[in-house]
Every structure is written in structure tokens, then in C-alpha cells.
Amino acid sequence: MELYKDNQLKIYNSLSKSKELFKPVTEGRVGMYVCGPTVYSNVHLGNVRTFMSFDMVFRYLLHLGYKVRYVRNITDAGHLENDADEGEDRISKKARLEEIEPMEVVQRYTVDFHETVAQYNFLPPSIEPTATGHIVEQIEMIKEIMKKGYAYEVNGSVYFDVMAYNEDGNNYGILSGRKMEDAIHNTRTLDGQSDKKNPQDFALWKKADDRHIMRWPSPWSDGFPGWHLECSVMSSKYLGEQFDIHGGGMDLKFPHHECEIAQSHTCSGKTPVNYWMHANMLLLNGQKMAKSTGNFVLPKEIITGENTVLSKAFAPSVVRFFNMQAHYRSILDFASDALEASEKGYYKLMEAVNALDGIEAGKTSSFDVFHWKQQCYDAMNDDFNTPILIAHLFEAVKVINQLKEKKATLTATDLELFKNTIHAFVFDVLGLTNETKQDSSDKIDGVVELLIKLRKEARDNKDWALSDQIRDELLSLGIQLKDGREGTTFSIN
Ligand code: AMP
Ligand code: ZN
């Protein structure tokens, strides 16, 4: 039986602002597009949180039995320093400052991104297209938008005409709820914006000035595409004019996704995306984690512990567990003590999962596995509610402990179902890996305890030389043994 046919997955759609029963355009198949990283610097943990949320969505859809085409792009051109089509291209700027080729910048940070997502156990997307690989298609889309009358050229740059689009009964603002008049009212007249008819118009093509290194020929000028265009082009190219899920961080809702809708809708006349999903922000010190403000932690620093906001190093699965303990639409505060709490929970869960293998089946079942399993699905079907799923997994931990102590029993069939369900949710859906405790102090404690045992055996055999050797060599390492009536204890200096 294919599970998805009976499944009642509901997704919160940012477009309708409600939870909707998920029904893909093509039965059994899902097309999902997620805006990928702009590769001008190392991804920070906030970026990773958003991508991890969609990795979980991807994993759950696969688990349900859907055939998923997951497209997550690499933005390697066109993303300017601010949302008002102002400033330099982020990659160009980095290349200029470091006196290297823009493609060296792109290569360096794409590699960093791939290393990071591998460390954090992400599934690779089905397609990872780049903006620079789709310049021809972007130029074609601009021509199409101009043909429809919603774009105009000024001094070699081309802008989308938001007013003209709306006057024809379309709704720029449909996703963000922003009113055009508010946009006009709220937007300062910025330098360089004078080319635009209206401040809310956005660039489809920008003429490159002399210092702009990344440039391509076009009918309008040597220049580069606007940032919003690449996602309309690559999503429609690989997923069709109308596809199922489009994701990204909350901060992309406006203007990026609003512009994507206007561009795609202009070309196809269709609603491009059926379910818009937005993941919430990771905060540090009460502020959005962001590269531009310097308020960030790098995912690699978490693994080494090399950041002053961290009390120690943490395993990637602990960070994954920490993220999954919050709903993807909730704000999450990053803090070292919060990670420490997650670490305890994660290892408790892993201990229980590992203990499952040693449990023997009984004649009867004292726990309703089927009902519990349904609760796990209900949680995930309620807009991917991972914190509730985790609460159910901790109920399972309690049951496993009772099974260990023979205070509960499960029949062979129920035990198999219980194991399979736990494994599926913990490893396949949440994407955790079964990491052994990384806390080296625990390991040292274990080794010293072992040496104390061997020393006691030596003493029992009256092998004073060996017993003294163990004591003295430990002392030279700063570990002092104290013999007392209760046995031998130790202290580490
Ligand atoms: P960028 O590389 O700037 O295009 O961002 C890549 C992704 O990370 C986008 O989906 C952003 O919405 C997301 N993002 C940026 N900052 C944060 C944050 N502090 N928390 C969660 N997601 C973020
Ligand atoms: Zn995008």
C-alpha cells in the first residue's frame, strides 16, 4: 500500500494564510522549489535552519511515498546589497575586494555550503541549478514580460511595471498583504532609483556599470539579471508553470517571492505555486542571525566549539535535534544552554533507540503501538509539527525503559512495528544520525575507572609495582587517585 494515498497532510499556506489539505498537481508526485544560498560568504546557522526545515519537509514527503523533485538553487549572480535594487552585486563586491574572480568566490562558498549540508546530514536536492547557468532563459523571460506590457527599459536596464500589472486586475501584494499605496508611501527615493517609474518597480535586468565584473550581453545592455528573476526561470523550467511547494525563509516573502509571483504569473497566466511555505528566523541575542550585522554563528564553529557564544562543541545531530524541537514557523532563539538541553534529550533518545535491539518480544502487548504510531503521523500531518512528534518519541522512550525493566511487554509484531516506526521518524524524517557521545570528559572518566579496576586487581595479586606505576603515571597526567574505605576515587586537575 502506498501510504500517501491515505495521508491527510495539511500544510500552512502563506498565500491563503490557512492550513490546507495537501493535494499535488500530479498524483503521487511533488514539485518543490526552495530558494538556495547566495554564495558570497559562508552560510550561517540561520540559513542552515531554513534549509534544514525544508530538508525535513523533503524527507517527510519521501517517507510518505511521494516521488519528489526538489529544486534548490545556488544564487551566484544578481543578488544586490539591498532589496531596492541598490548597491553592488554581493558576489561581484567580494571578488573586487579580494581581487579574485567572481567565480572563485562562487566556487569557494558553494564548496563550503556543500560541506556544511553534508556535515548536517541533508539529503541532496534533485536539481541544484545556478543563476549564471540560466542567463539565456532569464533574457527570454524578460522579453516575454515586455511583450505582455509589464516591463519597460530605461538606460539599458529593464524594470517590472508593478502599477501596470495591478491595473490589469492582478495583485502585486497577494502574498505579503502589502498594499501598493503603502509601498509607494514607505519607500524612500533612493539614489539610482530615478530610472524607475515607481519606487516599487523592480529590476529584471540591470545595466552593469564599469566596476561591475559580472556581465552578460543582452538586447538592452551588457548587464546582469535581477535577483527575483532566476527563481521564476528555474522553478518553471524544472517544475512547470504550476507546481506544488515553494519554500524559503520568512524574510524572502517580500519582495523576493512577491516579485516571483508577478513575473511567473505574467508569463504563464497561471498561479505558479500552490503552497507557499515560509520558515521562521533563528535569533541570536534577540536579533535575527545575519551576516551583515555580524550577529551570527557558523555551523562549522558549532562542531569545533570555536565561538565565544558556545560553552563547548556540539555534534551536528544535536543541532538538528535543537532545530526540530521548534516548529519551523516559530522563531527560535539560539543559545549554548539551549543546545546543552537538546544534547541531553538527543542522547536520551539515542540510548533508547539503541536499547530497542536488545528487547525481546512477549506474549501480549501492554502498549497500543498502532495508536501511538498514528499520533506520530497526526503530528507530522499537522503542518510538519516536529515538536509534537518529538514529544511522542519521548513517550516511546518511556515505553522502551519499561520494556527493558520488564514492566511492559510487546508481541513480536508490535515490537517490529514499534522499532520500524521509531527508526523511520528518528532517522529518515528528522534526519538524525546515531552519534556516540562526543563528550570526551565522559570518556576520560571511563578510562580512569578502568585503570582503577586494573590497579585493584594488581593490588589483590600483591603486584605493588604495577599498582604504583598506574597511580604515579596517572598523577603525572594530573589525575590523582585517593584510596578510601569506600574504594578509590579520583580528581582531575
Ligand atoms: P541568502 O543566502 O541570504 O539568500 O539566504 C538563504 C536562506 O536563509 C533564505 O531562505 C533566508 O530566508 C534564510 N535566512 C537568512 N537569515 C536567516 C535566519 N536568521 N534564520 C533563518 N533563516 C534565515
Ligand atoms: Zn528565490
Convert the pLDDT of each residue in 390-446 to its tens digit. 999 999 999 999 999 999 999 999 999 999 999 999 999 999 999 876 555 667 778
Q: Is 50 in the pocket of ligand 1 (CB under 6 A)?
A: yes
Nearest residue (CA) to ligand 1, atom 8: 47
Which pLDDT score, from 0 to 100, does residue 189 have? 44
The number of residues making up the chain comes to: 493
Q: Is 289 in the pocket of ligand 1 (CB under 6 A)?
A: yes
Q: Could you give the dihedral angle defined by the CA atoms of residues 371, 377, 380 and 385, in that order, rounded to the nearest 10 degrees?
A: 0
Ligand closest to CA 228: 2
Instruction: Report, as an integer, the average pLDDT of 216-238.
Output: 97
Instruction: Report, as an integer, the average pLDDT of 90-107.
Output: 92
Query: Which ligand 1 atom sits nearest the alpha carbon of residue 284?
Result: 19
Q: Is 249 in the pocket of ligand 1 (CB under 6 A)?
A: yes
Which pLDDT score, from 0 to 100, does residue 245 have? 99
**Surface-to-core class of residue 363, CB atoms within 10 Å of its CB (0-12 exposed, 13-18 middle, 19+ buried):** exposed
Q: What are phi and psi of 453, to 5 degrees?
A: -65, -45
pTM score, whole prediction? 0.88
Contact in structure between 272 and 257 (CB atoms under 8 Å): no
Q: Is 13 in the pocket of ligand 1 (CB under 6 A)?
A: no
Beta 243-249 vs 273-279: how paired, if at all?
A: parallel
Alpha-carbon span 203 to 239, nearest angstrom: 24
Alpha-carbon span 329 to 383, nearest angstrom: 9
Given a cut of 50, whether residue 45 has pLDDT beyond it is yes
Q: Is 252 in the pocket of ligand 1 (CB under 6 A)?
A: yes
Alpha-carbon span 401 to 216, nearest angstrom: 64
Tell me the pLDDT tens digit for each residue of 166-175.
999 999 999 9
Q: Is 47 in the pocket of ligand 1 (CB under 6 A)?
A: yes
Instruction: Report, as an integer, the average pLDDT of 304-325.
Output: 96
Residues with CB under 5 A from ligand 2 (ion): 35, 231
Helix, strand, or coil here: 33?
A: strand
Query: Which sign, positive or negative, has the C-alpha torsion 290, 296, 298, 302?
Result: negative
How many angstroms is it from 161 CA to the middle of ligand 1? 27
Higher pLDDT: 166 or 3? It is: 166
How many angstroms is it from 381 CA to the middle of ligand 1? 25
Q: Is 116 in the pocket of ligand 1 (CB under 6 A)?
A: no
Contact in structure between 161 and 152 (CB atoms under 8 Å): yes
Q: How far is CA 119 from CA 24, 313, 410, in A?
A: 31, 14, 36
Ligand closest to CA 46: 1
Give the H or E element holding residue 63. helix 45-63
359: CB partners within 8 A, 6+ apart: 400, 403, 404, 410, 415
Which pLDDT score, from 0 to 100, does residue 80 have? 82
How many angstroms is it from 346 CA to the middle of ligand 1? 26
Given a cut of 80, whether residue 210 has pLDDT beyond it is yes
pLDDT confidence tier of residue 211, bands split at 50, 70 and 90: confident
The whole-chain average pLDDT of the chain stands at 93
Given a cut of 70, whether residue 193 has pLDDT beyond it is no
Tell me the pLDDT tens digit for each residue of 253-265.
999 999 999 999 9
Ligand closest to CA 292: 1
- Residue 131 is classified by DSSP as S
